[in-house]
Structures are given as C-alpha cells and as structure tokens.
Chain A
C-alpha cells in the first residue's frame, strides 16, 4: 500500500526553528509537495521537490532524499502566524497525489 507518515502535532517557540518530517512509501515517485493549511482555511502551496537536496524559499526550506523516502520542511524565525497544519503529499508513478494526514504546528510565545 501507499503511505505517508508525518507527526500528528508539534510545538515550538516563537523565533525558534522547527523541522517537520515526512516519510513516504509509494508506488513510484514523481515529486513531493508541502502545503500549509490554517485552521478553517484551504491548503496553500509551499514547496515542491523532485530532486534530492534542499530548496530554500525565504524562512521556509524543504529537503528531499529519494533513496530514504524522506523529506522535511524547515521553518526558521518562527512567527505566531506559522501556527497551522503542514501537509506532505507525494506524486506517485501514475502522477496521483498521495496525502499525509498533516502535522499541526503550535507556536508558543
């Protein structure tokens, strides 16, 4: 079967750094997406990785290791507005998106 694993919930402090992990087992791989979803709102796109390595975009970075079936989203200089759920999604060999259940990130002052 196809599976995406993410921690259910994480807590971090404003101004700190947090790393949200995502491991996947899918039928093939054609890229990995990260989305942010604030409570009661729709998901919005954060990043896309298809090759191994780190992609940096402002305070957010995303890392991929295809050989390990692993990705992480790194959030720096945390702000209260970063409190949200972070969804990991993998595009399988049929270009279907497989979604993780999401990680709820709680930021404390």
Chain B
C-alpha cells in the first residue's frame, strides 16, 4: 500500500518555466489537497478536490492550476514560475464523511526552487 505518492521530490526551475507536480493516492480517498509550506510557516492550501471532476481554490491559488480526472490522481500545474513559488509542496488525501475532512495522509513533499 503506497499511500500518497508525489513526484518529483526536488526540482529547480528557471523563472517563467512551467511544470507539473504529480500526486497519486491508492486509498480510494474522495478528498485531495495541495498545500505549500514556507519555512517557519503553516500549511497554506492551494487547491483541493472533493471528488473526481470537482476542484476548488484554496487560500493561495494564484499561479497554479489543478485537475482531478480520476479519484487517484491530482496533478498541480505551475505556469510561468516565479521566485515566490519557491516552497515545499505537499499533496494530501483524506476520506471525508459527514462533512469532516478526516485524517489527512500526506505525500513526502516536493521541494521546488525557482531561480
């Protein structure tokens, strides 16, 4: 049971480049999330999805896009990378019932540097 798998673990981008962070979960969770975590800061929600075909903006969505074509996959697209997007990105999933998000399971994280 792999849980939540994120790739790549590390990436250096030049300003203006684009890339996709991949995330897959094999726990049949309905909810999936993308967070970013800057040093000394809490987790900031970028986008989330409550099921296949449904996505919603979080607290800091600008400069990012997502899609959820299947229950398992939730890729995060960075368009026109900027230094402000240098951060550690975490994908997470949970099984939500009765409204509560439930326990979040996180991927190992992707450390992105934009130069």
Verify B101–A91 contact, CB threshold 8 A: yes
B106 contacts partner chain A, Cβ-Cβ < 8 Å: yes
Verify B43–A42 contact, CB threshold 8 A: no
Verify A45–B99 contact, CB threshold 8 A: no
A13 contacts partner chain B, Cβ-Cβ < 8 Å: no
Verify A95–B42 contact, CB threshold 8 A: no
> Interface of B with A (CB < 8 Å)?
40-45, 90, 96, 99-101, 103-109
| Minimum CB distance partner of A95 in chain B | B99
Ranked nearest first, the 9 interchain pairs of A and B with the lowest CB-CB distance are A42-B106, A99-B42, A101-B42, A99-B43, A45-B103, A95-B99, A43-B106, A100-B42, A42-B109
Verify A42–B42 contact, CB threshold 8 A: no
Verify A95–B101 contact, CB threshold 8 A: yes
Residues of A within 8 A of B96 (CB): 95
Contact partner, B41, options A89, A95, A96, A101, Cβ 8 Å: A101
Verify A102–B108 contact, CB threshold 8 A: no
Give the distance in Å from the alpha carbon of A101 to the alpha carbon of B45 in the complex.
Answer: 13
> Interface of A with B (CB < 8 Å)?
4, 8, 30-31, 33, 35, 41-45, 48, 50, 87, 89, 91, 95-97, 99-102
Give the distance in Å from the alpha carbon of A95 to the alpha carbon of B94 in the complex.
Answer: 13
Known: A42-B90, A101-B42, A102-B42. A95 touches B100 (CB 8 A): yes
Give the distance in Å from the alpha carbon of A44 to the alpha carbon of B104 in the complex.
Answer: 8
Contact partner, B103, options A48, A50, A87, A99, Cβ 8 Å: A48
| Minimum CB distance partner of A98 in chain B | B42
Verify B108–A97 contact, CB threshold 8 A: no
